[in-house]
Amino acid sequence: MTGAAPIRSTCPYCGVGCGVLLRPDGAGGLSVAGDPEHPANRGRLCSKGTALGDTLGTRGRLLHPLVEGRRATWDDALDRVASRFSEAVAMHGPGSIAFYVSGQFLTEDYYVANKLMKGFIGSANIDTNSRLCMASTVAGHRRAFGTDTVPGTYDDLEEADLVVIVGSNLAWCHPVLYRRLAEARERRGTRVVVIDPRRTATADIADMHLALRPGTDVALFAGLFAHLHEAGAIDGTFVLDHTEGFDATLDAAATARPGATGLDPDAIEAFYRLWTRTERVVTLFSQGVNQSSRGTDKVSAILNCHLATGRIGRPGSGPFSVTGQPNAMGGREVGGLANTLAAHLDLEDPTHRAAVAGFWDGPRLADRQGLKAVEMFRAAAQGRVKALWIACTNPAATMPEADMVREAIRACDFVVVSDLFATTDTARLADVVLPAAGWGEKDGTVTNSDRTISRQRAALGLPGEARPDWAAFAEVGRRMGWPRAFDYARPAEIFREHAALSGLAAGLGRDFDISGLAGLSDADYDALAPIRWPVATGRSGGRFFGAGGFFTPTGRARIHPVRQEEPAARTSPRYPFRLNTGRVRDHWHTMTRTGRSARLSRHMAEPFLQIHPGDAARLGLVPAGLARVRSPHGEAVLRVLVSEAVQPGHPFAPMHWTDETASAGRIDALVEAATDPVSGQPESKASVVAIERF
């Protein structure tokens, strides 16, 4: 280890966005410690962050481009990509090509890819694996607030008197945030309620764990809305001055049946009373809410309760979405979803489109929504998408109905994959594979779940011929005929442009404003300390909406009527179980990084099925035996973990293993690609399956 000052960067895993201090060891590795000055973690790291140093190295890395499986120069590979994309546009129109990117992109990567597709190719066919993560929150925020605004900050978790955690195993999936909450609870007696069909480690600090029937969150929160009204807890002034839709929502709530949750009525009543009498409430939610065919309504059901009581935008109060990925938020900010425009502007708004078109000065701006993730791969399977660029993600393993997706990628005329490895389930299907720079090797910014923008900094050299993703997308843009628009030499140039565009958006009344950073010099950008948007003046922003001021045309938040509906897939005698999927503590996504750490792999070494003892006994499953799990879409063989943490009929399996890392453990092959009608987010937690002893 050298004695030089550490390099400040950000952990590449979850949306907590912890700051890290990196010290190169001079042999291609890094030591990693928590950054005591980063506001997200104040020096703390979880097991995954602590083990980051184990995950580096060039073993197995793709170090040069591949064209049709053979080594190629970057020039040849990029020429091939640009010419095949240009041909597809010329012959079949802009809608015949698509980009599928990633919440692990840096904001600068995202900005360039989105600009190329929406502003120059002229289609909105760019979507991201964040569609699988938090698209329902984006849709719920936009429906209620008029923009995709996270109202609060992490500090609210420490200032709340009650924190309600819905559909999140915070202890494993956002461990540092969980620790901050646990410490606040020790300090000031914060009450914690966990709402989750499964008993997870998060429930260890809960005063109340409500193990509701899967998919019944709307019934619970619509019932809470009605209860708040009956108890006289509505903030009439806030509702009158700052919201619309209250009466219709109350009418809908009057028909809510909280009993549909299957919870003890006394437990429901106790939860309602606690929520009602506590002024400072944070309702934190994650994938159990988002990954649902009714995800947007679930989000609305939660937001409604906060809006009706004015418990939003005040210290210790508000709904709070935590994102699964390190830069889902940055992707939202650049408009990297198929239904959004840059800088939180609206694709459907002609004024917004004109502003972005003028700013980018491209030949054609997309004028309608593009294909969302599930639609994109279905279109590829049907031959409507002729050319596809997949970057920084592995959809052949992680998309629902992954077998269908694998066939769709195979069927597509031309597929480019940018990745660190050429061996992923997806990269093996590509015509061109581009070697991407990874964490620790490239520079840029990310935004965490509480809107804090942090720098990721390079601490290691680029291995082989690897390049950052923004550089590959910019080079293709130049070769497709737009040299001036994609003439970027450094990420700082991209960031300045992104910040300047946000100023234009703010002028149109949008929330996302980092115009105070548009004038950063390269040196300022290099030195940029974590800063929370909005940043109009260079100072970190705080909460939104404490005094109203929503971003809808009327300036009022929309309280939206919601009604309980069942998950899309129906159980039957053939498929009697409902499968929940999720993460384990020490692995991340498809384990391309965490799988390299022996200590991380020790926690959960193989794919498993967590199943209730009653179900296991009935099926003749024994602990540590094997079970075959079948759905209408695929099958997997999993190690049996018998546990009372799951409910009868509702087993759980992790999502990390792929064909590359475990035979027959690829769980997303089983997941039904049923999507929320508003957000397009797939329902990853309620697929129907059959189980038998293997």
Residues near ligand SF4, by CB under 6 A: 11, 13-14, 16-18, 41, 45-46, 48-49, 174-176
Return the number of the residue (50 or 317) whose C-beta is nearest ligand SF4.
50
Dist CA 527 CA 522 (whole Å): 9
Cα angle 343-417-448, degrees, rounded to a multiple of 5 = 35
Cα angle 388-391-396, degrees, rounded to a multiple of 5 = 70
Return the number of the residue (16 or 268) whose C-beta is nearest ligand SF4.
16
Return the number of the residue (13 or 550) whose C-beta is nearest ligand SF4.
13
Return the number of the residue (377 or 439) whose C-beta is nearest ligand SF4.
439
Dist CA 577 CA 575 (whole Å): 6
Dist CA 541 CA 155 (whole Å): 13
Return the number of the residue (333 or 586) whose C-beta is nearest ligand SF4.
586
Dist CA 181 CA 179 (whole Å): 5
Return the number of the residue (326 or 477) whose C-beta is nearest ligand SF4.
326
> Least distance (Å) from ligand SF4 to the CB of residue 175?
5
> Least distance (Å) from ligand SF4 to the CB of residue 20?
7
Return the number of the residue (45 or 662) whose C-beta is nearest ligand SF4.
45
> Least distance (Å) from ligand SF4 to the CB of residue 449?
10
Nearest alpha carbon to residue 195 among 285, 256, 276: 285
> Least distance (Å) from ligand SF4 to the CB of residue 102?
16
Alpha-helical runs (H) found in 550-684? 598-603, 613-619
CA atoms in the 13 A half-sphere facing the CB of 491: 23
Q: What tokens were used for 163? A: 């924190």
Residue nearest to ligand SF4 (CB): 49
Helices 246-254, 295-308: axis angle to 10 degrees equals 110
Tokens 């475990």 belong to 662
> Least distance (Å) from ligand SF4 to the CB of residue 328?
12
Return the number of the residue (45 or 256) whose C-beta is nearest ligand SF4.
45
> Least distance (Å) from ligand SF4 to the CB of residue 425?
23
Return the number of the residue (22 or 45) whose C-beta is nearest ligand SF4.
45
Nearest alpha carbon to residue 368 among 111, 118, 120, 146: 118
> Least distance (Å) from ligand SF4 to the CB of residue 46?
3
Q: What tokens were used for 1? A: 């280890």
Q: What tokens were used for 230? A: 């009956």
Dist CA 174 CA 164 (whole Å): 15
Dist CA 578 CA 688 (whole Å): 5
> Least distance (Å) from ligand SF4 to the CB of residue 259?
37
- 160: three-class secondary structure by DSSP: coil
> Least distance (Å) from ligand SF4 to the CB of residue 106?
15
The DSSP code for 465 is: T
Dist CA 647 CA 625 (whole Å): 20
Contact call for residues 329 and 15 (beta carbons, < 8 A) = yes
| Cα-based torsion angle of the residue sequence 50, 17, 100, 631 in order, rounded to the nearest 10 degrees | 70
C-alpha distance from residue 287 to each of 290, 321, 323, 427 (Å): 5, 9, 8, 27
Return the number of the residue (172 or 272) whose C-beta is nearest ligand SF4.
172
Return the number of the residue (175 or 582) whose C-beta is nearest ligand SF4.
175
Dist CA 585 CA 173 (whole Å): 6
Contact call for residues 622 and 578 (beta carbons, < 8 A) = no
> Least distance (Å) from ligand SF4 to the CB of residue 34?
7
> Least distance (Å) from ligand SF4 to the CB of residue 11?
3
Contact call for residues 617 and 642 (beta carbons, < 8 A) = no
Return the number of the residue (158 or 497) whose C-beta is nearest ligand SF4.
158
> Least distance (Å) from ligand SF4 to the CB of residue 191?
23
